[in-house]
Chains A and B, each alone.
Chain A
Amino acid sequence: MFRAIVDNIKGLWSLIVGLSITGRFFFSPVKTVHYPRQVVDPESLASYRGPLELVPADDVGGSKCVSCQMCVRACPGNCLTVIKGKEGKAPETYLYDFTLCCLCAACVESCPTSAIRFSHNVYLTARTREELHMDLLADLKARAAKASQ
């Protein structure tokens, strides 16, 4: 009986300790990053794997890709379609289905010319499935055009 009373008083004390901890946190600043107003430190996004992009070989949107199909064969999700162009080794189409991609880096690591890499685009949004079917060559050209402006 006496033991139970002492136990309960100790228990009540542990509750007060708990309240003091949450009370202290109540007055400490919030830890979340309030997205549209604040963004995550870009340093911590440097390694983030976003959707694939082609590495530019020159300033006008040429790519290093030699259409060797290594990435297509490596991909576990079959999300890449590379069609070789009529002349030379450069690809005519480089389609990338982000809905199937699991960001495993099999393509990036198997590319003999290091022509593809992960972008660090965390803020990608899409309203339809089709928006995630990307044409990487067009994307590369758009980026080159934007950079040259």
Chain B
Amino acid sequence: MDLSITSLAQIIIACLMVIGLMVANAVVMVYFERKTAGFIQRRPGPYEVGPRGTIQAICDSMKLLGKQLFIPGNVDWLLYFLAPVLAFFPVLLLFLPIPFGKFLTAMSVDEGILLILAFSGLGVISNILAGWSSNNKYGLLGAARAVSQSIAYEIPMIMSLLAVIFLSGSLNLSQIVEEQGSWPWQWNICVQPLAFFIYLVSLVGETNRAPFDLPEAESELTAGFHTEYSGMGFALFFLSEYANMLLVSFVCVTFFLGGWKGPFLDGFWWTFIKAYLIMMFIVWLRWTFPRVRFDQLLNINWKWLLPLSILNLWITAIVVKLL
């Protein structure tokens, strides 16, 4: 890839657009999540601010921006401030190789999925730093949980994606989409249902969402690693959490659900519709189930998802070799 002025400009513009997307996504998702929670719990959810509460999320983020930055005593200053920033910026990079549409990719690299998997590991560093630096035992416990959970769930995630990569023979995300057809039965989900299921479970684990929200388990650790963050620091963690959700949903759409392709009128809208359907599913899970315990979370991963994904990988490899 040549680093000419045009491609650099393209990346910078894309980064700005991704920041816009992340912020818009967080605002939409906060509203959406609260509304969903409301409807599931048979109450209206946010209603008063704006028509049907639509600008509630914007007002809340304004409130977060305007809040005093409260810093608890004896924090490790540098790391304390670095952690939310570190949570935010890697996610920015991760969006670059995602093919939103056929020609709508910020940076079409051949090893797109490698880039995503490599940089998504950075997110957990911010969790450790946040938990460690804020001089809070709850934060520390949350950070310790975040590390082991994130490491555990990355492996089956990669394994399930590998199965798809075996099929398409490419690490390029656009290429993977191109391999799939327009109709749902031509998508990878029909070829690799087990891989899809494993990915879906590890997606929830990877993004620390309920029922796998152990690092921030509210009833045990108050708020886990971001207990001591308020105002903007908290907002950045929130933003990156939703951005991470969106990212893994995009990857899921690209790998299993045919990316930008749909029964009619291919285009980036299909990517977004499918991604948000997955997000909806994650939100739905959160408001239905109790939380698993930490050892159970690891057991699910190491005893079930990992062997299953390896099995799946073997079968795929054999089938690919034979055909």
- Interface, chain A (partner B; CB < 8 A): 8, 15, 18-19, 21-23, 25-32, 34
Contacts and interface: CB of A to CB of B under 8 A. Distances in A.
Interface residues of B, number: 15
Contacts of A32: 42-44
Interface string B253-293: 00000000000000000000000000000001101110000
A45 B227 CA distance: 42
Interface in B18-44: 36, 38-44
B44 to A, nearest CB: 5
B44 A34 contact: yes
A104 to B, nearest CB: 32
Nearest to A28: B42
Nearest to B304: A8
Contact of B39 (A15, A18, A30, A34): A30
A27 B284 CA distance: 13
A15 B200 CA distance: 14
Contact of A26 (B39, B44, B285): B39
A30 B44 CA distance: 6
Nearest to A19: B288
Identify the 9 closest CB pairs spanning chains A and B, nearest first: A31-B42, A22-B288, A32-B43, A26-B39, A22-B40, A26-B40, A18-B288, A30-B44, A30-B42
Nearest to A31: B42
A19 B289 CA distance: 8
Contact of B47 (A18, A29, A34): A34
Given A25-B42, A26-B284, A32-B44, 7 more contacts: A18-B288, A19-B284, A21-B288, A22-B287, A26-B39, A30-B42, A31-B42
A15 B289 CA distance: 8
Contacts, number: 36
Interface of B: 36, 38-44, 47, 284-285, 287-289, 304
29 contacts: A8-B304, A15-B289, A18-B288, A18-B289, A19-B284, A19-B288, A22-B40, A22-B284, A22-B287, A23-B284, A25-B39, A25-B40, A25-B41, A25-B42, A26-B36, A26-B40, A26-B284, A27-B39, A28-B42, A29-B42, A30-B39, A30-B42, A30-B43, A30-B44, A31-B42, A31-B43, A32-B42, A32-B44, A34-B47
Contacts of A8: 304
Interface centre among B40, B47, B289 (most CB of A within 10 A): B40
B42 A19 contact: no
B318 to A, nearest CB: 22
Contacts of B40: 22, 25-26
A6 to B, nearest CB: 13
A10 B48 CA distance: 43
A25 to B, nearest CB: 6
Contacts of B42: 25, 28-32
A18 B289 CA distance: 8
A36 to B, nearest CB: 9
A34 B45 CA distance: 11
Contacts of A19: 284-285, 288
A43 to B, nearest CB: 22
Nearest to B281: A19
A22 B44 CA distance: 15
A99 to B, nearest CB: 29
A34 B44 CA distance: 8
